[in-house]
A and B are shown apart, each in its own frame.
Chain A
Amino acid sequence: MIDQYGADALRLTLVTGNAPGNDMRFYYERVEANRNFGNKLWNATRFILMNFEDEDSCQGVSLEDLTAADRWIISKVNTLTREVTDNMDKYELGVAVQKLYDFAWEEFCDWYIEMVKPRLYNKEDVTRKAALWTLKTVMIDILKMLHPYIPFITEEIFMGLQHQEESIMISQWPVFKEEWQFISDEEEIELIKGAVRAVRNLRTEMNVPPSRKAKIIIVSKEEQIIDLFKRGKVFFSVLASASEVILQQDTKGIEADAVSALIPNAVLYIPFADLVDLQKELERLGKEKQKLEMEVDRVNKKLANEGFVAKAPAALIEEEKAKKAKYEDMLSAIVERIEKLS
């Protein structure tokens, strides 16, 4: 087991999903999943390092230089530090590592890294340095708190990420810092995350490929909310395939067929035509309509054939009748849709 997946994966599997005192159940697949978690950390660090020109790339950054997104993840990792330390002091080792796992995977890799990509790719961006500093700082705290659980990979990554300390094993455990608490930034980014999720859900429901960009209109009477999304506009293009983000106080100019979703204190609209290519869609629907008309015609002819009705078993006749009803229903739905679009 250790030879194949490594000691870290085995250790992580042993301590997750078990409250103290319960008999342990062991799953081979979980070891593999936990090895993948290690790989996730590895690849995230490789990405971070790729964006560093040299060791000084994030020198001299202070808290004032951080953007809302940076302050959000810093504040989050700060809260996590307090909770994990508290859990570990209560010997809730499984609970603590689950929180670390979720934070590293979702908040840090899936959200934060995606959010800062535009800043990293733009060498002229004045906040690029702050992004690099935040990436490195949060990653190091995550590694330190994960070290007791997965000692090897955390040491290897730590030694690649910094050169001041000789080993993570004897480095200092992170502590909660008052000055790292940014409640309003946390709320702001969480709202943006909620809106991004709402857009993603709408697009998934309508089967829209990520490559297709769409306009997002956010309507809110509250100035605060409008300001907040103004600041967060950029995230929608990276995280929610937005072509542009329009902010307004009323629904003026929004077409009736726009799809919408409710988010706290605001409503979010996407023009239907942005999600779906009208001409193509009408063509597709037209073809579909033709096909269905042919089917309905075929069934009608069959049922009008006296020879068939007289000789065929009752069950077969019922089946054909059911088909007729089904095709007719589908046809009327298509017709309705075509009317709506044209």
Chain B
Amino acid sequence: MKELEKIYDPSSVETRLYKKWMDKGYFHAEPDETKKPFTIVMPPPNITGQLHMGHALDNTLQDILIRYKRMQGYNALWMPGTDHASIATEVKIVEQLAKEGVSKEDLGREGFLVKAWEWKEQYGGRIIDQLKKIGSSCDWERERFTMDEGLSKAVEDVFIKLYEKGYIYRGSRMINWCPVCGTSISDAEVEHTEKEGYFWHLRYPIVGSDEFIHLATTRPETLLGDSAVAVNPKDERYAHLVGKMVKLPLTDREIPIIADDYVDRAFGTGVVKITPAHDPNDFEVGQRHNLSQICVLNDDGTMNDLAGEYAQMDRYEARKHIVEALEERGLLVKVEPHTHNVGTHDRCKSVVEPMIKAQWFVKMEEMAKPAIKALKEGDLCFVPERFEKTYLHWLENIRDWCISRQLWWGHRIPAYYCETCGEIIIAREKPSECTKCKATHLVQDEDTLDTWFSSALWPFSTLGWPDQTKELEYFYPTSVLVTGYDIIFFWVVRMVFSGLEQ
């Protein structure tokens, strides 16, 4: 009989055995009709750095399941890969460049992308090594990256397909804008946190009378962008004022008093100022009443030229000056402490600005329906079950998904604009001429896609889709997904509806 060493030495044994398993090809799976498939697709770790304990846990759980099923005789495939992680990686690279005294703009788009690929080579490999170190029995021969050729083709295909179906559109919409990162972010990336703030009670003079109308706001600096004052139509206190005009303080504009059901009679004075360009609810009210959208902020969070003497001031600096000016004019009634929910960017924690921007969107209503049905009919289930609620809540209250990002690292949007007639052409490659006016000056959209757009396709794009490969036919749909509950709506929901759409 063979003797075991007196002392077990993990480090030498682990290296030797992992090599044995790799050399013997135990991790590799090929479609085989005589065996039942069992597939797990690895949630691709971001190439932003090191594996953390959460990754170690997730991947251990996946490895346990895949090894178990493999021993039970299944043809077990664990599909590995990494995610380009658009914004997370770009932020890190920008930080690294800053240390060298270089900005993104100094390098230009092409130069920046060269740096980004270097980053990928350096850090993507490190994560893979760590996964191997903990014993992950992935099919490394099939390793993929969200930005490699095949997956990028899948992204373009889905974009084009959804555009042709009318599910992708370009529109001016209220989006969440991060003034620090200089990009739009999705609803899912906004964290709502309770913050101490104030209610500034103001009064606006009514034109042609000595009366004032009393209202409260948490953001006095947006006053410069007001285009109406609103009351509830059933509120008798203000019925006589509806239709009259108020003189907007600190400006020479007169704006109407309107009636809209959105206003809560019982909240505060029952009067609200309407700033369609800087608040999502006000945006809706503005749409209903055909109000102008007056944007007073620059992309970096400073006031713009429409803010007159406050132009170029930071939003919070302007707030101080505006409150002082109102007080001098006797228009500040009182200041009341008030705790309210503020949206912040989950990556940089700065306060998000609702802004109106031309962005690309995916219409969600139709796509959400089959994903809801799939859960209700038991086509997929969650362990533990309580997370079904998270899933359903997100899908049942879904808003259109803003998919464009003002970033460079990612899949560039396959949209081309004719500089002559403004026609938008969606195409895989840059067209040689405008389909409408035949002009030859076309420029590609500067923006890239939300990082979750490509990860939403991960379970099938990694198996070769859109080509109908034998792997896709055999191993898809996958069997189990092991992931963190914090990304159910970012990722899981989107994989489900993307999968069902194909």
Contacts and interface: CB of A to CB of B under 8 A. Distances in A.
Nearest to B387: A21
A2 to B, nearest CB: 6
A18 B384 CA distance: 12
Given A14-B57, A148-B64, A167-B24, A54 B1 contact: yes
A330 B133 CA distance: 64
B4 A45 contact: yes
Given A8-B135, A21-B384, A49-B1, 16 more contacts: A5-B10, A6-B11, A7-B134, A11-B60, A24-B57, A49-B2, A90-B383, A147-B67, A148-B71, A151-B17, A151-B63, A156-B8, A160-B2, A166-B24, A169-B137, A172-B71
B489 to A, nearest CB: 15
A40 B213 CA distance: 80
Interface string B42-73: 00000000000110110011011101101111
The A interface, classified by DSSP as helix, strand, loop or mixed, is helix
Interface in B7-45: 8, 10-11, 13-14, 17-18, 20-21, 24, 26
B133 A7 contact: yes
Contacts of A91: 65, 383, 480
A46 B73 contact: no
Interface residues of A, number: 53
A169 B384 contact: no
A173 B17 contact: no
B212 interface: no
Contacts of B73: 172-173
Contacts of B63: 11, 148, 151
B117 interface: no
A153 interface: yes
Interface residues of B, number: 41
A24 B486 CA distance: 13
Interface in A32-67: 35, 38-39, 42, 45-46, 49, 52-55, 57
A83 interface: no
Contacts of B17: 151-152, 155-156
B52 to A, nearest CB: 11
Which among A7, A57, A171 has the highest number of chain B CB atoms within 10 Å? A7
Interface in A148-166: 148-149, 151-153, 155-157, 159-160, 163, 166
Interface string A3-33: 1011111110011001111001010000000
Given A10-B134, A88-B68, A93-B61, A167 B21 contact: yes
A173 B134 contact: no
A26 B54 CA distance: 10
A49 B4 contact: yes
A71 interface: no
A248 B479 CA distance: 61
B1 A20 contact: no
Contact of B135 (A18, A19, A152, A172): A152
Contact of B11 (A3, A46, A53, A54): A3
27 contacts: A2-B133, A6-B14, A8-B10, A11-B135, A14-B53, A14-B60, A15-B60, A19-B384, A21-B386, A35-B10, A38-B8, A46-B4, A49-B3, A54-B1, A57-B1, A93-B64, A144-B71, A148-B67, A148-B68, A149-B64, A151-B63, A151-B137, A152-B10, A152-B13, A156-B8, A167-B21, A173-B71
